[in-house]
Structure 1
Amino acid sequence: MTRRTDAHPDPTRPGIGAPFFSTWRVGTPERQAQTVEAVARTWETRAWGSDRLLGYHLYAGHDGTTLLHYSQWRDEQGYEAFFKTLRQERNDEIDTAVPGIERVRLDRYRLHRSHARAVGDTRVPGLIVTVRVDFEPDAADKRADWVDLVLSALAGPDADRGLISAHFHLSTDGTHVLNYAEWESDEAYDAALAGPGSPQWERVRTHPGLRGTTGSRYRHALGLVP
Protein backbone atom coordinates (compact mmCIF):
# COMPACT_ATOMS: atom_id res chain seq x y z
CA MET A 1 0.00 0.00 0.00
CA THR A 2 0.89 3.67 0.04
CA ARG A 3 1.75 5.62 3.17
CA ARG A 4 2.23 9.31 3.90
CA THR A 5 5.48 10.75 5.24
CA ASP A 6 6.56 14.18 6.47
CA ALA A 7 10.21 13.46 5.67
CA HIS A 8 11.78 15.44 2.88
CA PRO A 9 13.16 13.36 0.00
CA ASP A 10 16.85 12.70 -0.55
CA PRO A 11 17.68 13.47 -4.20
CA THR A 12 20.97 11.55 -3.84
CA ARG A 13 19.27 8.32 -2.78
CA PRO A 14 20.84 5.33 -4.57
CA GLY A 15 18.67 3.83 -7.29
CA ILE A 16 17.11 7.03 -8.61
CA GLY A 17 17.78 6.84 -12.34
CA ALA A 18 14.99 9.10 -13.57
CA PRO A 19 13.92 12.03 -11.37
CA PHE A 20 10.88 13.86 -12.79
CA PHE A 21 9.54 17.29 -11.89
CA SER A 22 6.14 18.52 -13.05
CA THR A 23 3.98 21.57 -12.37
CA TRP A 24 0.23 21.93 -11.91
CA ARG A 25 -1.58 25.25 -11.78
CA VAL A 26 -4.60 25.17 -9.47
CA GLY A 27 -5.50 28.84 -9.02
CA THR A 28 -5.80 29.62 -5.31
CA PRO A 29 -4.31 28.65 -1.93
CA GLU A 30 -7.60 26.95 -1.04
CA ARG A 31 -7.46 24.82 -4.18
CA GLN A 32 -3.78 24.08 -3.47
CA ALA A 33 -4.76 22.54 -0.14
CA GLN A 34 -7.72 20.69 -1.67
CA THR A 35 -5.53 19.24 -4.42
CA VAL A 36 -2.88 18.07 -1.98
CA GLU A 37 -5.53 16.21 0.03
CA ALA A 38 -7.09 14.80 -3.15
CA VAL A 39 -3.71 13.45 -4.24
CA ALA A 40 -3.10 11.96 -0.79
CA ARG A 41 -6.53 10.33 -0.65
CA THR A 42 -6.26 8.95 -4.18
CA TRP A 43 -2.87 7.36 -3.53
CA GLU A 44 -3.46 6.19 0.04
CA THR A 45 -6.56 4.20 -0.97
CA ARG A 46 -4.63 2.30 -3.65
CA ALA A 47 -1.66 -0.01 -3.90
CA TRP A 48 1.60 1.80 -4.54
CA GLY A 49 1.45 0.70 -8.14
CA SER A 50 5.07 0.32 -9.22
CA ASP A 51 8.23 -1.11 -7.73
CA ARG A 52 10.11 1.30 -10.02
CA LEU A 53 8.82 4.33 -8.10
CA LEU A 54 10.81 5.11 -4.95
CA GLY A 55 8.98 8.22 -3.75
CA TYR A 56 6.52 10.92 -4.77
CA HIS A 57 6.50 14.39 -3.19
CA LEU A 58 4.28 17.42 -3.59
CA TYR A 59 5.17 21.07 -2.88
CA ALA A 60 2.89 24.09 -2.56
CA GLY A 61 4.15 27.18 -4.36
CA HIS A 62 4.45 30.38 -2.37
CA ASP A 63 2.57 32.05 -5.23
CA GLY A 64 -0.59 30.32 -3.96
CA THR A 65 -1.44 28.94 -7.41
CA THR A 66 1.01 26.15 -8.26
CA LEU A 67 2.00 22.68 -7.11
CA LEU A 68 5.34 21.07 -7.86
CA HIS A 69 5.52 17.27 -8.17
CA TYR A 70 8.83 15.45 -7.66
CA SER A 71 8.84 11.73 -8.42
CA GLN A 72 11.86 9.48 -7.97
CA TRP A 73 11.85 6.68 -10.56
CA ARG A 74 14.40 3.93 -10.97
CA ASP A 75 14.16 4.31 -14.74
CA GLU A 76 12.00 5.91 -17.41
CA GLN A 77 10.59 2.54 -18.42
CA GLY A 78 8.97 2.26 -14.99
CA TYR A 79 7.25 5.61 -15.47
CA GLU A 80 6.08 4.71 -18.97
CA ALA A 81 4.48 1.49 -17.71
CA PHE A 82 2.76 3.37 -14.86
CA PHE A 83 1.59 6.07 -17.30
CA LYS A 84 -0.05 3.53 -19.59
CA THR A 85 -1.90 1.55 -16.93
CA LEU A 86 -2.47 3.55 -13.71
CA ARG A 87 -1.90 7.29 -14.12
CA GLN A 88 -5.15 8.31 -15.82
CA GLU A 89 -7.39 6.61 -13.25
CA ARG A 90 -5.68 8.50 -10.46
CA ASN A 91 -5.78 11.82 -12.28
CA ASP A 92 -9.48 11.34 -13.01
CA GLU A 93 -10.25 10.92 -9.31
CA ILE A 94 -8.19 13.99 -8.42
CA ASP A 95 -9.94 16.02 -11.15
CA THR A 96 -13.34 14.96 -9.84
CA ALA A 97 -12.40 16.31 -6.41
CA VAL A 98 -10.81 19.50 -7.75
CA PRO A 99 -12.04 20.31 -11.27
CA GLY A 100 -10.06 22.58 -13.57
CA ILE A 101 -6.46 21.65 -12.70
CA GLU A 102 -4.04 22.77 -15.40
CA ARG A 103 -1.16 20.34 -15.89
CA VAL A 104 1.49 22.74 -17.14
CA ARG A 105 4.54 20.60 -17.88
CA LEU A 106 6.56 17.55 -16.97
CA ASP A 107 10.36 17.52 -17.33
CA ARG A 108 12.71 14.56 -17.15
CA TYR A 109 16.15 14.83 -15.59
CA ARG A 110 19.30 13.10 -14.48
CA LEU A 111 20.95 14.18 -11.23
CA HIS A 112 24.37 15.55 -12.18
CA ARG A 113 26.05 16.76 -8.99
CA SER A 114 25.07 17.95 -5.52
CA HIS A 115 26.19 20.35 -2.82
CA ALA A 116 25.42 17.79 -0.14
CA ARG A 117 24.06 18.32 3.33
CA ALA A 118 26.93 18.55 5.81
CA VAL A 119 27.60 15.54 8.00
CA GLY A 120 25.60 15.89 11.21
CA ASP A 121 23.31 18.60 9.81
CA THR A 122 19.81 17.64 10.97
CA ARG A 123 17.98 20.83 10.01
CA VAL A 124 14.55 20.42 8.44
CA PRO A 125 14.28 22.69 5.39
CA GLY A 126 11.88 25.56 5.91
CA LEU A 127 12.00 26.49 2.24
CA ILE A 128 12.51 24.65 -1.03
CA VAL A 129 13.74 26.72 -3.96
CA THR A 130 13.89 25.50 -7.53
CA VAL A 131 15.93 27.48 -10.04
CA ARG A 132 15.56 26.62 -13.70
CA VAL A 133 18.62 27.75 -15.67
CA ASP A 134 18.01 27.83 -19.42
CA PHE A 135 20.78 27.57 -21.99
CA GLU A 136 21.00 28.48 -25.65
CA PRO A 137 19.98 25.70 -28.07
CA ASP A 138 23.60 24.94 -29.01
CA ALA A 139 24.95 25.11 -25.44
CA ALA A 140 23.82 21.81 -23.91
CA ASP A 141 27.44 20.76 -23.42
CA LYS A 142 28.12 23.89 -21.34
CA ARG A 143 25.65 22.95 -18.61
CA ALA A 144 28.00 20.63 -16.71
CA ASP A 145 30.74 23.28 -16.65
CA TRP A 146 28.24 25.81 -15.27
CA VAL A 147 27.23 23.41 -12.48
CA ASP A 148 30.90 22.83 -11.63
CA LEU A 149 31.39 26.60 -11.36
CA VAL A 150 28.40 26.99 -9.03
CA LEU A 151 29.55 24.12 -6.80
CA SER A 152 32.99 25.67 -6.58
CA ALA A 153 31.42 28.94 -5.44
CA LEU A 154 29.24 27.14 -2.88
CA ALA A 155 32.30 25.43 -1.42
CA GLY A 156 34.21 28.69 -1.09
CA PRO A 157 34.20 31.53 1.43
CA ASP A 158 31.04 32.99 -0.14
CA ALA A 159 28.97 29.96 0.84
CA ASP A 160 25.78 30.79 2.72
CA ARG A 161 25.14 28.98 6.00
CA GLY A 162 21.39 29.13 5.40
CA LEU A 163 21.73 26.74 2.46
CA ILE A 164 21.32 23.13 3.55
CA SER A 165 21.84 21.42 0.20
CA ALA A 166 21.56 21.98 -3.55
CA HIS A 167 21.02 19.32 -6.20
CA PHE A 168 21.69 20.06 -9.86
CA HIS A 169 19.69 18.11 -12.43
CA LEU A 170 20.35 18.16 -16.20
CA SER A 171 17.22 17.98 -18.33
CA THR A 172 17.25 15.04 -20.73
CA ASP A 173 16.23 17.33 -23.61
CA GLY A 174 19.45 19.33 -23.23
CA THR A 175 17.79 22.70 -22.68
CA HIS A 176 18.32 23.53 -19.01
CA VAL A 177 19.52 22.77 -15.50
CA LEU A 178 17.20 22.52 -12.49
CA ASN A 179 18.62 23.27 -9.06
CA TYR A 180 16.53 21.78 -6.24
CA ALA A 181 17.78 23.59 -3.12
CA GLU A 182 16.93 23.14 0.55
CA TRP A 183 17.10 26.33 2.63
CA GLU A 184 16.80 26.84 6.34
CA SER A 185 14.16 29.56 5.93
CA ASP A 186 12.79 32.29 3.68
CA GLU A 187 14.82 34.80 5.66
CA ALA A 188 18.05 32.91 5.01
CA TYR A 189 17.34 32.79 1.29
CA ASP A 190 16.41 36.49 1.18
CA ALA A 191 19.64 37.36 2.97
CA ALA A 192 21.64 35.36 0.45
CA LEU A 193 19.97 37.14 -2.47
CA ALA A 194 20.65 40.52 -0.87
CA GLY A 195 24.29 39.78 -0.13
CA PRO A 196 27.19 41.38 -1.98
CA GLY A 197 28.28 39.73 -5.20
CA SER A 198 31.73 38.29 -5.86
CA PRO A 199 33.86 37.73 -8.94
CA GLN A 200 33.14 34.00 -8.74
CA TRP A 201 29.38 34.50 -8.72
CA GLU A 202 29.71 37.02 -11.55
CA ARG A 203 31.33 34.28 -13.63
CA VAL A 204 28.36 32.06 -12.81
CA ARG A 205 25.91 34.72 -14.00
CA THR A 206 27.82 35.45 -17.22
CA HIS A 207 28.71 31.89 -18.15
CA PRO A 208 28.78 31.27 -21.94
CA GLY A 209 25.53 29.87 -23.31
CA LEU A 210 23.44 30.99 -20.34
CA ARG A 211 20.04 32.22 -21.46
CA GLY A 212 18.15 33.05 -18.27
CA THR A 213 16.98 31.82 -14.87
CA THR A 214 13.61 31.36 -13.19
CA GLY A 215 13.30 30.79 -9.46
CA SER A 216 10.31 29.50 -7.50
CA ARG A 217 9.68 29.02 -3.77
CA TYR A 218 7.84 26.07 -2.24
CA ARG A 219 7.02 24.31 1.00
CA HIS A 220 6.92 20.54 1.27
CA ALA A 221 3.23 19.65 1.41
CA LEU A 222 3.04 15.87 0.99
CA GLY A 223 5.33 12.87 0.83
CA LEU A 224 4.16 9.46 -0.40
CA VAL A 225 6.21 6.26 -0.21
CA PRO A 226 5.50 2.53 -0.50
Structure 2
Amino acid sequence: MTHLLDLIHPDAGTVLISEWRTGTPERTRAAADAVIQEWAAAEPPPARLAQHLFVATDGTGLLHYAQWTSDEDHLAWARAHRTAVISRVDTLVPGIERPGLNRTRLHRSVVHDAGPRPGVFAVTMTTAVEETENTENTATPVTGLLATHIHLTADGGRAIVVSEWTDAAAHETAAADAPGVRTYTLRHALTDGHGQEQYDARPPA
Protein backbone atom coordinates (compact mmCIF):
# COMPACT_ATOMS: atom_id res chain seq x y z
CA MET A 1 0.00 0.00 0.00
CA THR A 2 0.96 3.61 -0.37
CA HIS A 3 1.70 6.08 2.41
CA LEU A 4 -1.14 8.31 3.56
CA LEU A 5 0.80 11.46 2.72
CA ASP A 6 0.90 10.26 -0.91
CA LEU A 7 -2.90 10.39 -0.87
CA ILE A 8 -3.18 13.90 0.52
CA HIS A 9 -4.40 16.48 -2.00
CA PRO A 10 -2.65 19.85 -1.59
CA ASP A 11 -5.84 21.83 -2.30
CA ALA A 12 -8.05 19.99 0.18
CA GLY A 13 -9.92 22.34 2.51
CA THR A 14 -11.58 19.53 4.44
CA VAL A 15 -11.05 15.83 5.06
CA LEU A 16 -14.23 13.80 5.59
CA ILE A 17 -13.78 10.56 7.54
CA SER A 18 -16.66 8.16 8.07
CA GLU A 19 -17.10 4.52 9.00
CA TRP A 20 -19.67 2.09 7.64
CA ARG A 21 -20.30 -0.97 9.79
CA THR A 22 -21.35 -3.81 7.56
CA GLY A 23 -20.93 -6.77 9.91
CA THR A 24 -19.54 -9.56 7.75
CA PRO A 25 -16.89 -9.99 5.05
CA GLU A 26 -19.58 -10.87 2.50
CA ARG A 27 -21.56 -7.71 3.21
CA THR A 28 -18.36 -5.65 3.27
CA ARG A 29 -17.36 -6.91 -0.18
CA ALA A 30 -20.83 -6.20 -1.55
CA ALA A 31 -20.93 -2.71 -0.05
CA ALA A 32 -17.44 -1.86 -1.34
CA ASP A 33 -18.32 -3.05 -4.83
CA ALA A 34 -21.57 -1.06 -4.76
CA VAL A 35 -19.78 2.12 -3.71
CA ILE A 36 -17.13 1.71 -6.40
CA GLN A 37 -19.85 1.17 -9.01
CA GLU A 38 -21.56 4.38 -7.88
CA TRP A 39 -18.30 6.29 -8.21
CA ALA A 40 -17.74 4.92 -11.70
CA ALA A 41 -21.27 5.70 -12.90
CA ALA A 42 -21.72 9.19 -11.46
CA GLU A 43 -20.43 12.49 -12.76
CA PRO A 44 -17.49 13.41 -10.50
CA PRO A 45 -18.24 16.47 -8.35
CA PRO A 46 -15.68 19.16 -9.25
CA ALA A 47 -15.18 19.97 -5.56
CA ARG A 48 -14.28 16.39 -4.64
CA LEU A 49 -10.51 16.26 -4.95
CA ALA A 50 -9.89 12.69 -3.83
CA GLN A 51 -11.87 9.79 -2.38
CA HIS A 52 -10.35 6.68 -0.81
CA LEU A 53 -12.11 3.56 0.35
CA PHE A 54 -10.60 1.27 2.98
CA VAL A 55 -11.80 -2.12 4.24
CA ALA A 56 -11.45 -3.32 7.82
CA THR A 57 -8.95 -6.13 8.22
CA ASP A 58 -11.54 -8.16 10.13
CA GLY A 59 -14.03 -7.74 7.29
CA THR A 60 -16.67 -5.94 9.35
CA GLY A 61 -16.69 -2.48 7.82
CA LEU A 62 -15.51 0.24 5.47
CA LEU A 63 -13.77 3.54 6.03
CA HIS A 64 -14.28 6.51 3.71
CA TYR A 65 -11.51 9.13 3.51
CA ALA A 66 -12.65 11.97 1.25
CA GLN A 67 -10.99 15.29 0.45
CA TRP A 68 -13.06 18.24 -0.77
CA THR A 69 -12.33 21.87 -1.50
CA SER A 70 -14.51 22.93 1.45
CA ASP A 71 -17.26 21.75 3.78
CA GLU A 72 -19.68 24.10 2.05
CA ASP A 73 -19.01 22.52 -1.35
CA HIS A 74 -19.52 19.04 0.07
CA LEU A 75 -22.77 20.03 1.80
CA ALA A 76 -24.11 21.47 -1.46
CA TRP A 77 -23.39 18.19 -3.24
CA ALA A 78 -24.79 16.11 -0.37
CA ARG A 79 -28.08 17.99 -0.36
CA ALA A 80 -28.53 17.32 -4.08
CA HIS A 81 -27.10 13.81 -4.53
CA ARG A 82 -26.18 11.89 -1.36
CA THR A 83 -29.61 10.42 -0.64
CA ALA A 84 -29.86 8.84 -4.10
CA VAL A 85 -26.35 7.37 -3.90
CA ILE A 86 -26.84 5.95 -0.41
CA SER A 87 -30.26 4.52 -1.20
CA ARG A 88 -28.87 2.55 -4.14
CA VAL A 89 -26.13 1.08 -1.95
CA ASP A 90 -28.62 0.30 0.81
CA THR A 91 -30.86 -1.52 -1.67
CA LEU A 92 -28.01 -3.94 -2.36
CA VAL A 93 -26.71 -4.10 1.22
CA PRO A 94 -29.48 -3.16 3.66
CA GLY A 95 -28.82 -2.43 7.30
CA ILE A 96 -25.44 -0.67 7.07
CA GLU A 97 -24.70 1.23 10.28
CA ARG A 98 -23.23 4.71 9.84
CA PRO A 99 -22.12 6.26 13.16
CA GLY A 100 -21.58 9.67 11.57
CA LEU A 101 -19.41 11.84 9.35
CA ASN A 102 -16.36 13.56 10.81
CA ARG A 103 -15.32 16.85 9.21
CA THR A 104 -11.63 17.27 9.91
CA ARG A 105 -8.41 18.96 8.93
CA LEU A 106 -5.04 17.23 8.82
CA HIS A 107 -3.37 18.83 11.83
CA ARG A 108 0.04 17.20 11.80
CA SER A 109 1.92 14.20 10.45
CA VAL A 110 4.80 12.52 12.24
CA VAL A 111 6.81 10.23 9.95
CA HIS A 112 9.09 7.78 11.74
CA ASP A 113 10.16 5.66 8.76
CA ALA A 114 9.34 6.69 5.19
CA GLY A 115 10.91 3.59 3.67
CA PRO A 116 8.66 0.55 4.09
CA ARG A 117 5.18 0.60 2.64
CA PRO A 118 2.46 0.25 5.28
CA GLY A 119 0.68 -3.07 5.63
CA VAL A 120 -2.26 -1.65 7.58
CA PHE A 121 -3.69 1.67 8.69
CA ALA A 122 -4.96 1.93 12.27
CA VAL A 123 -7.71 4.47 12.97
CA THR A 124 -8.46 5.81 16.44
CA MET A 125 -11.33 8.18 17.10
CA THR A 126 -11.23 9.98 20.42
CA THR A 127 -12.71 12.98 22.22
CA ALA A 128 -9.47 13.53 24.17
CA VAL A 129 -7.47 15.84 21.90
CA GLU A 130 -4.76 15.92 24.57
CA GLU A 131 -3.84 12.38 23.60
CA THR A 132 -2.36 13.70 20.37
CA GLU A 133 0.41 15.38 22.36
CA ASN A 134 1.80 11.95 23.18
CA THR A 135 2.01 11.19 19.47
CA GLU A 136 3.59 14.51 18.60
CA ASN A 137 6.21 14.22 21.32
CA THR A 138 7.16 10.59 20.77
CA ALA A 139 10.89 10.49 20.12
CA THR A 140 11.25 6.72 19.79
CA PRO A 141 8.33 4.98 18.08
CA VAL A 142 7.37 1.42 18.84
CA THR A 143 8.45 -1.34 16.49
CA GLY A 144 6.46 -1.38 13.27
CA LEU A 145 5.04 2.15 13.53
CA LEU A 146 5.85 4.05 10.34
CA ALA A 147 3.87 7.27 10.66
CA THR A 148 1.04 8.95 12.54
CA HIS A 149 -1.38 11.49 11.09
CA ILE A 150 -3.48 13.59 13.44
CA HIS A 151 -6.79 14.97 12.16
CA LEU A 152 -8.76 17.48 14.22
CA THR A 153 -12.38 18.47 13.87
CA ALA A 154 -13.07 22.10 13.04
CA ASP A 155 -13.82 22.97 16.67
CA GLY A 156 -10.79 21.04 17.94
CA GLY A 157 -12.99 18.90 20.14
CA ARG A 158 -12.21 15.54 18.56
CA ALA A 159 -9.13 13.90 17.18
CA ILE A 160 -8.93 11.12 14.62
CA VAL A 161 -5.51 9.52 14.46
CA VAL A 162 -4.52 7.47 11.41
CA SER A 163 -1.29 5.53 11.94
CA GLU A 164 0.67 3.44 9.47
CA TRP A 165 2.12 0.08 10.45
CA THR A 166 4.37 -2.41 8.70
CA ASP A 167 1.80 -5.16 9.22
CA ALA A 168 -1.15 -6.19 11.36
CA ALA A 169 1.01 -8.24 13.72
CA ALA A 170 3.16 -5.24 14.66
CA HIS A 171 0.09 -3.17 15.40
CA GLU A 172 -1.54 -5.93 17.43
CA THR A 173 1.59 -6.31 19.53
CA ALA A 174 1.84 -2.59 20.26
CA ALA A 175 -1.87 -1.88 20.74
CA ALA A 176 -3.11 -5.07 22.36
CA ASP A 177 -4.76 -3.18 25.22
CA ALA A 178 -5.86 -0.09 23.29
CA PRO A 179 -9.66 0.15 22.97
CA GLY A 180 -11.49 1.57 19.98
CA VAL A 181 -8.78 0.99 17.39
CA ARG A 182 -9.68 -0.51 14.02
CA THR A 183 -7.27 -1.46 11.23
CA TYR A 184 -7.88 -1.07 7.51
CA THR A 185 -6.30 -1.68 4.13
CA LEU A 186 -6.74 0.49 1.04
CA ARG A 187 -9.28 -0.88 -1.41
CA HIS A 188 -9.98 1.80 -4.02
CA ALA A 189 -9.07 5.41 -4.80
CA LEU A 190 -10.31 8.31 -6.88
CA THR A 191 -7.83 11.10 -7.57
CA ASP A 192 -8.93 14.58 -8.61
CA GLY A 193 -12.41 13.15 -8.89
CA HIS A 194 -11.62 11.24 -12.07
CA GLY A 195 -8.71 8.79 -12.18
CA GLN A 196 -9.47 5.53 -10.39
CA GLU A 197 -6.96 3.19 -8.80
CA GLN A 198 -7.91 -0.33 -7.80
CA TYR A 199 -6.07 -2.07 -4.97
CA ASP A 200 -5.91 -5.74 -4.10
CA ALA A 201 -7.16 -5.42 -0.52
CA ARG A 202 -10.28 -7.51 0.06
CA PRO A 203 -12.08 -8.41 3.27
CA PRO A 204 -11.14 -11.83 4.63
CA ALA A 205 -13.34 -14.68 3.49
Normalising by structure 2, report the TM-score: 0.81
- Distance apart, 1:130 and its partner CA: 0.5
Change (3 A) 1:172 1:86: same
Structure 1: distance between partners of 2:34 and 2:8 = 28
What's the secondary structure of 1:104's corresponding residue?
A: coil
Name 1:36's counterpart in structure 2: 32
Identity, in percent, stands at: 31
Structure 1 unaligned segments of length 5 or more: list them: 1-5, 136-142, 195-211
Q: Does 1:91 align with 2:86?
A: yes
- Distance apart, 1:9 and its partner CA: 4.7
Q: Does 1:134 align with 2:152?
A: no
Q: Does 1:112 align with 2:107?
A: yes
Change (3 A) 1:87 1:8: farther
Structure 1: distance between partners of 2:167 and 2:22 = 25
Please, what is the CA RMSD of the aligned residues?
Answer: 2.3
Q: Deviations over 1:76-131 (max 9, x none)?
A: 01111110112122112212222222222111111111113655x2x332111011
Contact 1:57 1:70 in 2 (8 A): yes
Change (3 A) 1:8 1:95: farther
Structure 2: distance between partners of 1:20 and 1:111 = 10
Structure 2 unaligned segments of length 5 or more: list them: 195-205
Change (3 A) 1:40 1:7: farther
Change (3 A) 1:221 1:185: same
Question: What letter corresponds to residue 34 of structure 2 in structure 1?
Answer: A
Structure 1: distance between partners of 2:3 and 2:117 = 8
Name 2:182's counterpart in structure 1: 216
Structure 2: distance between partners of 1:39 and 1:7 = 21
Q: Does 1:187 align with 2:175?
A: no
Aligned residues: 190
Q: Does 1:53 align with 2:48?
A: yes
Q: Deviations over 1:37-83 (max 9, x none)?
A: 001111112221x2221111122223432211111112101111110
